[in-house]
């Protein structure tokens, strides 16, 4: 790749792009040798200057168009560069290459971190369509060159990739990760147990979906627990005891059957109290429960069991008492509302994803795949 440095043309290997900004510390990088605008980019590093075309910038982004119209003073001769202090230099440079139609110099493949960073920048400046021709190629290559581990930052990158491209397959996996493994803090901010607060790192639309999905799952579970208390409370006090010995019509219960049922009803209530699932208003209980991750909450709730009578008590043999009934019902509620509910939310149709997808692929257009997996073998992944 050739880049203008003053009046000289310098060849720079694409795999060394991370060093480009260091190479040109004193002179602007001439993305457009005939450009009329200097911009300076920096995030946690020294400002790096680029010479660009204001006309190309305006065409690429409505955000940049608003910045560069109506007598913008940076377009005057000798004006200071316009600064972008919060943006990554390398990411911005890749987008600038596309904006200035230097397509052949854009990396053939990116790692997930840099790909996600490009998506974030494009969403910020509303210029996703500029990078659209490269997204499928980058995604397709990564699906064969990278395994999805549990690196928290990698999940953030994939969240931006999936959301920016409207890829339902990627979004499903990202939703699964955050719905099951995230919780909220006292400020109702989404937190990854491995990475702290991720509320501001993820696409806002996706954050809202994750919040709503988790709340629906937990609301369904708490509601089922309250219904269970009502059901077993009725059983304990309506004169129709459910003592195991009575059900089997075997020898009589060594204690009063109604007292026996009441005892186990008390254990149910106590267990739900310990986990703050009862009593109280469902909305308030759900808010408290959101501070727990579903992936950890589910197995712990399954450990709740009713206490057993002594084994020598033949009338209440192990596994035969009413207590096993509400234990099994509670465990089913965990499976149905927490685990199955999470699966339904993960697979749920999200209208926002369709809207994102239509930005790139109108329904009347058929999107063909690029190369086969074999074509990506041996390709070096470009990253930081």
pLDDT, one tens digit per residue, over 197-215 is 888 899 988 899 999 999 9
Coil, strand or helix: which one is 24?
A: coil
Alpha carbon of residue 204 to chain centroid: 10
Q: Name which of 265-269, 284-288, 323-327 the model is least confident about.
A: 323-327
Which residues is 37 bridged to in the sheet?
A: 52
Superfamily of domain 2-146: Potassium Channel Kv1.1; Chain A (3.30.710.10)
pLDDT tens digits for 332-368?
999 999 999 998 988 876 666 666 666 665 554 444 4
pLDDT greater at residue 96 or residue 145: 96
Question: Do residues 32 and 53 touch, judged by C-beta distance below 8 A?
Answer: yes
> For position 230, what pLDDT does the model report?
87
> For position 383, what pLDDT does the model report?
52
> For position 176, what pLDDT does the model report?
87
Domain boundaries, the chain: 2-146, 212-347
Q: What is the mean pLDDT of residues 156-174?
A: 87
Q: What is the mean pLDDT of residues 123-147?
A: 82
Share the mean pLDDT of the chain. 77
> For position 173, what pLDDT does the model report?
86
pLDDT classification of 371: cutoffs 50, 70, 90 = very low
Q: Does residue 65 surpass a pLDDT of 70?
A: yes
The count of residues in the chain is: 384
The number of beta carbons lying within 10 Å of the beta carbon of residue 59 is: 14
Q: What does the block give as tokens for 39?
A: 């911009």
Stated as kind and residue range, the H or E segment containing 49 is strand 48-52
Q: Does residue 373 surpass a pLDDT of 80?
A: no
Coil, strand or helix: which one is 48?
A: strand
> For position 319, what pLDDT does the model report?
44
CA distances 232 to 68, 216, 245, 322, Å, are 69, 24, 17, 10
What is the 3-state secondary structure of 169-218? HHHHHHHHHHHHHEEECCCCCEEECCCEECCCCCCHHHHHHHHHHHHHHH
pLDDT greater at residue 170 or residue 115: 115
The number of beta carbons lying within 10 Å of the beta carbon of residue 42 is: 18
> For position 170, what pLDDT does the model report?
85
Which residues is 39 bridged to in the sheet?
A: 50, 82
Stated as kind and residue range, the H or E segment containing 51 is strand 48-52
* Percent of all residues in the chain with a pLDDT value above 70, rounded to a whole number: 67
Q: Name which of 54-63, 65-74, 145-154 the model is least confident about.
A: 145-154
């Amino acid at each position: 790749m050739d880049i203008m440095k003053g009046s000289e043309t310098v060849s720079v290997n694409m795999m060394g792009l991370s060093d480009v900004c260091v190479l040109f510390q004193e002179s602007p990088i001439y993305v457009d040798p005939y450009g009329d605008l200097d911009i300076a980019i920096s995030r946690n590093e020294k400002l790096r200057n680029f010479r660009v075309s204001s006309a190309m910038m305006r065409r690429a982004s409505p955000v940049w168009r608003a910045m560069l119209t109506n007598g913008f003073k940076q377009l005057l001769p000798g004006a200071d560069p316009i600064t972008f202090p919060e943006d990554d230099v390398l990411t911005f440079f890749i987008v600038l290459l596309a904006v200035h139609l230097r397509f052949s110099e854009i990396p053939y493949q990116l790692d997930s971190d840099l790909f996600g960073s490009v998506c974030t920048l494009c969403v910020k400046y509303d210029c996703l369509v500029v990078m659209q021709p490269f997204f499928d190629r980058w995604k397709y290559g990564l699906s064969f060159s990278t395994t999805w581990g549990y690196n928290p930052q990698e999940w953030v990158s994939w969240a931006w990739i999936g959301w920016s491209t409207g890829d339902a397959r990627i979004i499903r996996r990202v939703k699964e990760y955050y719905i099951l493994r995230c919780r909220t803090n006292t400020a109702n901010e989404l937190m990854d147990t491995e990475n702290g607060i991720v509320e501001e790192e993820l696409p806002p639309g996706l954050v809202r979906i994750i919040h709503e999905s988790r709340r629906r799952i937990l609301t369904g579970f708490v509601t089922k627990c309250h219904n269970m208390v009502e059901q077993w409370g009725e059983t304990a006090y309506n004169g129709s005891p459910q003592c195991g010995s009575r059900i089997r019509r075997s020898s009589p219960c060594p204690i009063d059957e109604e007292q026996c049922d009441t005892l186990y009803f008390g254990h149910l209530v106590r267990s739900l109290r310990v986990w703050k699932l009862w009593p109280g208003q469902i909305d308030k209980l759900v808010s408290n429960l959101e501070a727990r991750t579903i992936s950890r909450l589910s197995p712990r709730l399954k450990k709740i069991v009713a206490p057993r009578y002594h084994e020598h008590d033949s009338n209440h043999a192990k596994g035969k008492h009413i207590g096993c009934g509400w234990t099994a019902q509670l465990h089913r509620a965990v499976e149905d509302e927490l685990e199955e509910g999470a699966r339904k939310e993960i697979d749920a149709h999200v209208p926002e994803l369709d809207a994102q997808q239509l930005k790139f692929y109108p329904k009347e257009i058929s999107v063909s795949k690029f190369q086969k997996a074999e074509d990506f073998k041996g390709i070096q992944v470009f990253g930081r």
